[in-house]
Amino acid sequence: MKEIRADDRTQVLSGPQVPASPIAAAIALKGISKTYGSVTALRPTDLSVEKGEFLTLLGPSGSGKTTLLNLIAGATGPTTGVILQDERDITRKPPRERGIGMVFQNYALMPHMTVFENVAYPLRVRRQPATTIRAKVTEALERVGLRGFEDRKPRQLSGGQQQRVGIARCIVYSPAIIMMDEPLGALDKNLREQMQGEIKRLHKDLGTTFIYVTHDQEEAMNMSDRICLMNMGGIAQLGTPDELYFQPCNRFVAEFIGESNLFPGRMTSGGRVQIAENHSVAVPGAAGIEGSELLIMLRPEKVRITGTEGPVADDSNVLSGEVESCSFTGSITRVTVKTENGLSITAKMMSERIRSGLAPGARVRLCWSSSDLVVLDK
């Protein structure tokens, strides 16, 4: 599977052309891997996390994202490779010497301590003066909206409030990097969305590097500067949310990020791709000798449904078919159509109070632009 490396960000210099000097990455992994006996948890991997970036490690269970997080945190040591922090080798340094904060899914609060005592704990371990502790704890609780909760015990707080305490305890000692391991996994949908907004605001206010682990693609798309999508112990694709969505590099990425229509295709004469009997399409970026096989992706929201008559745009591909199913999910209506040449194509559109002509069995036409087709690496 293709691994894509992140290039170091460079400074932009005004005036005459001067070679740009690279800015040290917050974290740089070089050939890092982890095996447990005969089991490979992480294949040799390169990854650079930029300073101030919000990077999300996304992927299914067993993809290697938590292993990667633990290697950065120092909770486990690598089998091969080097970990650099601000160009310093921290591969064998213990967690306490890395200046990295961690927020856990299960909050990990000490139940016998008050909110104040929980947040103050990292500072007391570091033997900070009492006046400094009070000032920093007050500031941290202010940032997470928990001023006035200082004397409560964790059992007196809601799940969202407990998670805020966990975040406050992490930021109170100003770590260079903040890592979060599925921190919202135990919260309900509405609270998760609220906390996503608060974490994004906190990242902007602090300007600190965030490394975030989740298996929720919508959460990753909403919060991240870049997403490192992992699969089978390696990086499937690394890029911005819109790059992974609109330009996935292979089938796994296309299917994991959002929903997609996938068409096996074959190059024909004239540089077109045949995706069904008697139907070929022009695909930007498609290349290969006649007869070579390709995989084409089309996002459902790019498919338009029209009646059986009337004009369509000049660059549109048009297929006729019969509605198989129509699902209302609130703001979105999802329609699956079986075309006359055997393709099953899904379209998504904004829902309307009354939408006629989309009942199962209805005859419709599907249209899309050639520019919305993407060639995937098989």
Three-state DSSP at 245 gives helix
For 161-217, write each residue's pLDDT tens digit: 999 999 999 999 999 999 999 888 878 888 888 889 999 999 999 999 999 999 999
Distance CA 66, CA 71 (A): 9
- pLDDT tens column, 216-250: 999 999 999 999 999 999 999 999 999 999 999 99
Beta-strand relationship, 27-36 and 80-85? antiparallel
Domain 261-307+318-376 has CATH 1.10.10.60: no
Tokens of 317: 């591909």
Helix (H) or strand (E) holding 335: strand 332-339
Low-confidence ranges of the chain (pLDDT < 70): 1-23, 271, 285, 287-289, 308-316, 353-356, 378
Q: What is the CA radius of gyration of the chain?
A: 25
335 by Cβ neighbours in 10 Å (0-12 / 13-18 / 19+) ranks as buried
CATH number for the region 27-99+176-256 comes to 3.40.50.300
**Kind and range of the H or E element at 180?**
strand 177-181
Cross-strand bridge partners of residue 334: 327, 348
- CB of 105 closer than 8 Å to CB of 183: yes
- Separation of alpha carbons 287 and 377, rounded Å: 12
Provide the angle, in degrees to the nearest 10, between the axes of the packed helices 130-143 and 159-171: 130
Percent of the chain with pLDDT over 70: 88
Residue 44, amino acid: P
Give the C-alpha separation, 260 to 271, whole Å: 23
pTM here is 0.85
Domain ranges of the chain: 27-99+176-256, 261-307+318-376
d(CA 87, CA 82): 11
Q: What's the confidence (pLDDT) of residue 291?
A: 75
